Structure 1
Amino acid sequence: MTDTRPESPAADHLNALFAQALSQRPAQGVPALRTVPAQVSPAGLPDSAVAVPDIAAPSVLPVGHAVLAELRSRASVKIGEAAGADASMTEQDRRQRGQSIIMQVVSEWATKYAASGQDLTPAQERAVREAVFDELFRAGRLQPLLDDPYVENIIIYGDKVRVDYADRPTRTWDPIAKTDRDLINLINHLARMQGQGERALTPATPNLNLRLADGSRLAASAYIT
């Protein structure tokens, strides 16, 4: 269904920020992504929601993304093996099996991590499990922002990330992906999760529009010089 609702003040603010990001592009062909909530607050963004040149918020994860990538790889292999051994496995079954495998993989890693003198608290180990699950089954590093009910808009241009909030000033954020290629892969991963695997961000189709599972709208572009 086509969304015919008029642009809101929040959407106007998003467009202005996105245009500013484009005017400051570091190189040609950098992938750009923006997400807009399913329903923008009637009040729009508060007057205080202006760009603040602060540093990205620190991550609550006790380890870096390189460790998460390794855990993701280990879990992905095991999940693939489990799916290959059971042809009747549904997507829901795969997710449930994935949770079990991720718990096992992270638990084994945490035991070795603790042996090096770096114990994790239960909350930290849970955060690692959730991050690995997000990488495999949800929106990766983008997921915490999608889960935040106070996030109005997310604007990504390469490694530049700006977030509009309903209750606080706009902020910069940690990069969502390590490289432009990783960002494009994330966008295409989101398309596949919405059952639109035939649609992808490629040189032949440099623009992509999606509605995510939570109702958010996503617009992405890449390969444009």
Structure 2
Amino acid sequence: MVLRTAVRDINQALDDQITAETTPEQARDLIEAQVRTWISDQAGTGRYTLTAELESRLVYAVYNERFGLGSLQPLLEDPQIETIDVNGADQVWINYADGRKELAEPVADSDTQLVELIRRWGAYQGQTARDFSPAKPRLRLALPDGSRLTAMMTVTPRPVLSIRRHRMLDVDLDQLVEAGTLDIGLREFLRACVAARKDIVITGGMSAGKTTFARALAADFPPEERIVTVENEHELFLHTLPHRHADIVALEAREPNAEGIGGISVSDLVTDALRLNAKRIIVGEVLGPELVPMLVAMNTGGEGSLCTIHADSAREVFARMLILASSGGLTYPPGTLYRLAGMAVDFVVHLRHETFHHQGRPANVRYVSEVLEVLPPADTEEPATTPVYVPGPDGRAVPHTLPQCAADLEAIGFDPSYFGWEYQ
């Protein structure tokens, strides 16, 4: 708390010196000078032990308060942390990649100060400024490092904040093989699907790794292809990987202002994506009315596109589509929506996330459990499906049935021996 008080006092002294035009490099010089001034002022008071270490810590903390997430910034820089949950200023829960959960130090001196910090982050941390106030008590924000921040106030007894970190931004299918998410045969099958420009829907529950998997699939897109990503808040961050994607446009929805004006929805942006000459479109997460524009885009010009949908199994995705369409105000008859999905989607890849205990310690695992080929409806209203990969004894995907489009995959070089047998 003593350090936070010093950081607050130094920042107040900097308010007139650091403006919107000040670069981070210039700001660091100003911060270092103000910290030295503060240390000089404290000399002889006996309130602090003035050391070079204290000076370094103060510069780091003040800089983070201005350009990062304050006392949360060191947690964001820890590669082992997956989620941060703040239930009021003094209750901070940390979840680690190995399954551990620990209580951390407070992030603010009071709930009022916590709200002010969140308001500042909403204004400066994202691509577009987002309000956090009693009039708009919910905030969703993509942070510069790819983490996703969600905050609420007034609808809860105390302000709450959750951060979900994306630890694998620059990722490909080879790395997911190393992580145990899939095996080499499935990697080659999915690479063939991408090369053959098959449209893929990635499904899974919360924290199953859908966004990471979408990044890994996108890493196999030809680097010169024009890609447009569409998200409520940036999470894919493919536009920060120029060595993988040279021609990319990252679209982010915009919330309306307090008067309800100026909002731009994901649904609007999906329609715009085709007008931007996109060869492939990625919708980070389909949540409602953008479903039909995404399916239309896949069916009419965005071949080889990707999207993610929350679902508890691969087959559940079609029921989820109906729910998402109706919750988004769309009134398509089920048969019409199913026919569109059957014509637009080629494969559904389902991910699972499990936590278990090994040798007395918790552990997290994420893996592909199913791959369905999707076909137009036949005997029922729902799209026909072929179970290409099914859960094996340990739940992980194993080959089951050749897809009807097998010849397309073989034509672009897929080795049938990876599937376990020769194509007939």
TM-score, with structure 2 as normaliser = 0.34
Give the partner amino acid of 2:148.
R
Q: Which residue of 1 aligns with 2:75?
A: 145
Partner Cα distance (2:35, 2:61) in 1: 11
Q: Which residue of 1 aligns with 2:31?
A: 102
Q: Which residue of 2 aligns with 1:30?
A: none
Give the partner amino acid of 1:69.
R
Give the partner amino acid of 1:125.
E
Compare the two structures and name the one with the higher strand fraction.
2
SS at match of 1:64: helix
Q: Is 2:23 the counterpart of 1:65? A: no
Q: Which residue of 1 aligns with 2:123?
A: 192
Which one of 113, 116, 121 corresponds to residue 42 of structure 2? 113
Which one of 191, 208, 215 corresponds to residue 139 of structure 2? 208
Q: Is 2:54 the counterpart of 1:124? A: yes
Q: Which residue of 2 aligns with 1:20?
A: none
Q: How far off its partner does 1:119 sit?
A: 4.6
Partner Cα distance (1:76, 1:94) in 2: 14
Higher relative contact order structure (alpha carbons within 8 Å, sequence separation ≥ 6): 1
Partner Cα distance (2:49, 2:12) in 1: 23
Instruction: List gaps (5 residues or longer) in structure 2.
Output: 157-424
Give the partner amino acid of 2:109.
K
Partner Cα distance (1:224, 1:122) in 2: 44
Compare the two structures and name the one with the higher helix fraction.
1
Q: Is 2:120 the counterpart of 1:181? A: no
Please tell me whether the aligned partners of residues 207 and 220 of structure 1 are also in contact (alpha carbons under 8 angstroms). yes
Task: State how 1:2-21 maps to structure 2 within 5 Å.
Answer: none
Q: How far off its partner does 1:219 sit?
A: 1.2
> Which sits farther off after the overlay, 182-191 or 139-148?
182-191
Which one of 205, 213, 218 corresponds to residue 149 of structure 2? 218
Please tell me whether the aligned partners of residues 113 and 119 of structure 1 are also in contact (alpha carbons under 8 angstroms). no
> Relative to 1, partners in 2 of residues 1:204 and 1:168: Cα closer, same or farther, differing over 3 Å?
same
Q: How far off its partner does 1:189 sit?
A: 1.6
Give the partner amino acid of 2:11.
R
Q: Which residue of 1 aligns with 2:202?
A: none
Give the partner amino acid of 1:77.
D
Q: Which residue of 2 aligns with 1:78?
A: 17
Please tell me whether the aligned partners of residues 92 and 105 of structure 2 are also in contact (alpha carbons under 8 angstroms). yes
SS at match of 2:131: coil
Please tell me whether the aligned partners of residues 76 and 136 of structure 1 are also in contact (alpha carbons under 8 angstroms). no
Partner Cα distance (1:134, 1:76) in 2: 15
Give the partner amino acid of 1:101.
L
Give the partner amino acid of 2:127.
G
Cα deviation digits, residues 40-85 of structure 1 (max 9, x gap): xxxxxxxxxxxxxxxxxxx8xxx432122111111222224xx7xx
Give the partner amino acid of 1:213.
P
Partner Cα distance (2:113, 2:49) in 1: 30
Please tell me whether the aligned partners of residues 207 and 219 of structure 1 are also in contact (alpha carbons under 8 angstroms). yes
Partner Cα distance (2:53, 2:64) in 1: 16
Q: Which residue of 1 aligns with 2:64?
A: 134
Partner Cα distance (1:177, 1:119) in 2: 22
Which one of 167, 172, 182 corresponds to residue 103 of structure 2? 172
Q: How many equivalent pairs are there?
A: 153
Partner Cα distance (2:55, 2:29) in 1: 14
Instruction: List gaps (5 residues or longer) in structure 1.
Output: 1-58, 84-88
Q: How far off its partner does 1:206 sit?
A: 2.1
